Amino acid sequence: MSDSVIYPYPDNWDLTTLGQLCSEGGGGIQTGPFGSQLHAADYVDVGIPSIMPKNISIEGISTEDIAYITNQDAQRLSKYLVKEGDIVYSRRGDVEKCSLVTEKENGWLCGTGCLKVSLGIQNKVSPIFIHAYLSHPAVREWISRHAVGATMPNLNTSILSEVPVLIPPKKEREVIQNTWHDTTNKIILNHQINQTLEQMAQALFKSWFVDFDPVKAKISAKDAWINLHGEIPATDSPVYADYAQSLCVAAMSVISGKTTAQLEAFATQKPEQYQSLKATADLFPDAMQGSELGDVPEGWGLGTLSNLIDFNPKRILKKGVLAPYLDMKNVPTQGHLADDVILREMGSGTKFINGDTLLARITPCLENGKTAYVDFLENDEVGWGSTEFIVMRPQVGIPTSIGYFIARLDSFRNFAIQSMTGTSGRQRANTKALEDLSWVIYPIGLLEKFGVLSDSFLKYSRKRHDENQSLTQLRDTLLPKLLSGELSLNKKELNAL
């Protein structure tokens, strides 16, 4: 087969190139600004997002660790700004992946190290179809094979312009692009839901156990009562119940995010959930006490982190046994979900079970936030991975998810980074220093309440993650068949799959 044809195709399909397609539509292919046009010092904390190679994936443009430029620089580099329907590539490294620019990214910068494909406003072929086509495994392999450079693949406008593009008739294109769009959007939505839930759970943990917001809310309510009535009523006073209720409602409001009026309606509409919320609020005291760690809730203990967390607990897995293996590169920097767990014969590595939290201890993985919660094993199964993991397991009786949320705290991570020792480039966090770190000892009742919420979050996120894996597998199996003409289905038939 000629190199200008990526795979066999039906006779009624048209063959063109990506460059010709862009030219016919009034678009084109161009690189992002070069280093002489945009320097490292030009990036700012807030501004117009600049798309870098690390932000590019088939599912979309990630905003994780994205760079920003000023509005002035965006105007100066206006010809490099992307618009909805453009497709962006990395110029080097993982060059076969591309992202479709959506309405959300309209006006962002095609950053240094990227290329922009613009189909043009006159093009009759949908950008969604072209993105689906360019994501075909055979097309991606063609791009990788034609990239220049042995150790670091490099892509340029000439190579992209020569990519062979097969255009099926309109009805078949519509089926293909709708299938791609619907499936990819579902994957993106699931990922966004998981991100939101993660942020909510982390915020709740910080509110309860770091900022002590429910306690502070009760203190404020107590001060307001004293300002109004002059004193705190005795426990046998007729108004004590009203006083206690005002403190409880203040804490409930902080915990739930509901106003007093909303809580009143909530009590009528969902009485069981209201009582559960009230029981949680009752677990928080209404005063603070001084300690070596600063003010902490009255009655809460002080100790070391080892009182809550067992570091590197013993796990048994015989050498040579085939077991689930997690590589450091597949540990997330955000969220708890690990990817691409494979079976490998046990060699030398860290062992773990479900409910453990894996913390990368080595630079730069620790600084980058690599952390995972183990929820991908079978019951009683032992997995293993890099020797550069620290395993964190809550002590007996404490919900296992607590270990993960502690590991995600900025205060904990900053201390872990400060504890690092070793030669430059190979520094590792000091496990003993983490064990001995002074820490607030949370009441077990409150930990159990949080555990109920956090466990449901983790399980729901895992369910969405597994659904995404199934959707990705379906998409990556079905789309190549559609894009090669091997399979021809209408929209109704596809929905039935």
What average pLDDT does this structure show over 187-195? 91
Q: What per-residue confidence (pLDDT) applies to 487?
A: 65
The SS3 of residue 462 is helix
Residue indicated by tokens 């872990």? 416
Do residues 420 and 428 touch, judged by C-beta distance below 8 A?
yes
Give the relative orientation of helices 444-483 and 170-209 as an angle to the nearest 10 degrees: 170
Give the relative orientation of helices 260-269 and 271-282 as an angle to the nearest 10 degrees: 130
CA dist., res. 366 & res. 364, Å (int): 6
CA dist., res. 192 & res. 196, Å (int): 6
Q: What is the tens place of the pLDDT at every residue in 244-253?
A: 999 999 999 9
Q: What per-residue confidence (pLDDT) applies to 418?
A: 96
Do residues 312 and 431 touch, judged by C-beta distance below 8 A?
yes
pTM value? 0.81
Do residues 1 and 8 touch, judged by C-beta distance below 8 A?
yes
Neighbours of 455 (CB within 10 A): 15
CA dist., res. 285 & res. 212, Å (int): 10
If one compares 117 and 8, the residue with the highest pLDDT of the two is 117
Residue 134 C-alpha from the chain's centroid: 25
**For 378, which DSSP code?**
P
What average pLDDT does this structure show over 256-281? 95
Do residues 22 and 30 touch, judged by C-beta distance below 8 A?
no
CA dist., res. 429 & res. 417, Å (int): 6
The tokens for 448 are 């159990």
What average pLDDT does this structure show over 453-457? 91
378 backbone φψ class: left, alpha, beta (φ>0; ψ -120 to 50): beta
Q: Is the pLDDT of residue 493 over 60?
A: no
Beta bridge partners of 4: none
Q: What per-residue confidence (pLDDT) applies to 304?
A: 97
The tokens for 280 are 């949680």
**For 234, which DSSP code?**
P
Backbone angles phi, psi at 74, to 5 degrees: -65, -40
Provide the total of helices (H) and of strands (E) in the chain, helices listed first.
Answer: 16, 23
Q: Is the pLDDT of residue 6 over 80?
A: no
CA dist., res. 274 & res. 415, Å (int): 38
What is the average pLDDT score of the chain? 92
What average pLDDT does this structure show over 318-325? 94
What average pLDDT does this structure show over 31-43? 90
Neighbours of 55 (CB within 10 A): 23
Report the length, in residues, of the chain: 497
The SS3 of residue 398 is coil
Q: Is the pLDDT of residue 182 over 50?
A: yes
CA dist., res. 171 & res. 69, Å (int): 42
Do residues 200 and 406 touch, judged by C-beta distance below 8 A?
no
Q: Which domains does the chain have, with CATH numbers?
A: 14-168 (3.90.220.20), 197-300 (no CATH), 306-446 (3.90.220.20)
Q: Are strands 357-360 and 309-311 parallel, antiparallel or unpaired?
A: unpaired
Q: What per-residue confidence (pLDDT) applies to 494?
A: 46
